[in-house]
Copies of this chain bind each other. A is one copy, B any other.
């Protein structure tokens, strides 16, 4: 998928502290980048995390994370963290992230897939997405909802 197909393309510069002896970003830090992506995604659709989600009776928990490493980002690289909701279930969503260099956006360095589940802050159990959050995501992505 081309990076231009993502509405969210968040710029981020690789920090010195994130790069290891092999000269590339340590593999775990890409999950920090993915976490920045979900924060900015929520802001972009119109909700400030976590206050405005909590006010809707919603919190987000990661249930599963998968990273495919194609090439490593290097110190001082200007990256684009591209992200979108690929599918929206009743209580979970599948969030896709592609990390590219701003200067060569067709070469995907890292692909990430995160499964987030909606959790009721009171009961700490999974629960259906608040309608407003669902509408905001569907409107932003123009994707059809799934049942699962």
Interface positions of A (Cβ within 8 A of B): 15-17, 19-21, 23, 26-32, 34-36, 39, 48-49, 61-69, 75-76
Quote the shortest CB–CB distance from A4 to chain B (angstroms).
24
Q: In the complex, given contacts A28-B35, A61-B69, what are 14 additional A-B residue pairs having Cβ atoms less than 8 angstroms apart?
A: A15-B36, A15-B39, A16-B20, A16-B36, A17-B28, A17-B29, A21-B21, A21-B75, A28-B28, A39-B76, A63-B68, A64-B66, A65-B66, A66-B67
Which 8 pairs of residues, A with B, have the shortest CB-CB distance? A28-B31, A66-B66, A17-B26, A27-B62, A17-B32, A65-B67, A28-B32, A28-B28
Q: How far is the CA of A28 from the CA of B62 in the complex (A)?
A: 10
